Amino acid sequence: MSKLAGLAILLLSATPWGAVCPGNQPKSESALLELEQTWAHALTQHDSDTVACILAGEFQDFDPNGDVYDRAQALAKIPHRRPGSNQLSDLHPHVHGDFGYVRGLNTILDPEGKAVAKVRFTDIFVYRDGRWMAVAAQESLVGGVAR
């Protein structure tokens, strides 16, 4: 392959922010679980490039308050997230052809490791161009009101 062809492939597989998105992901429940962990870790690290690789162009997020965010809005919020981490548990992945979803629980921890919120979620994915991409997310706060 020529250098020019290689550069063209790199540019076509990159997000607008410059990250090269992974390809050749298996169509498996374990791949969805790995993607969820990657997503959670990227949010903790304020890593918009990695999250941009996960979110499809038509992505919509419905947060615990009922607010709706499109892909651009969801990515714009990442640098402004509070310090802390996401601890995923009770994960249940399902794959149906080119469609998949994961239901789980995210325990949000402050920088000292204290749980500050628990959020049940459902993330919906499509398999496109050799990788899973999130098209929708829904969160519900467990045990309280988010606002």
78-99 pLDDT per residue, tens:
999 999 999 999 999 999 999 9
Residue 55 lies in a domain: yes
Range of the domain at 68: 3-141
**Residue 43 corresponds to which tokens in the numbers above?**
């949010």
Residue 146 lies in a domain: no
Q: What is the CATH number of the domain that holds 133?
A: 3.10.450.50
The domain total for the chain is 1
- pTM exceeds cut of 0.75: yes
More reliable by pLDDT, 8 or 18: 18
Residue 39 lies in a domain: yes
Q: How far apart are CA 8 and CA 46, in angstroms?
A: 28
For residue 28, pLDDT over 70 is answered with yes
Residue 147 lies in a domain: no
Mean pLDDT, residues 99-109: 97
More reliable by pLDDT, 107 or 3: 107
Residue 87 lies in a domain: yes
pLDDT band with cut points at 50, 70 and 90 for residue 20: confident
What phi-psi label fits residue 66: left (phi over 0), alpha (psi between -120 and 50 degrees) or beta? left
Mean pLDDT, residues 93-118: 96
Residue 102 lies in a domain: yes
For residue 131, pLDDT over 60 is answered with yes
Considering the chain, what percentage of its residues have pLDDT values greater than 70?
84
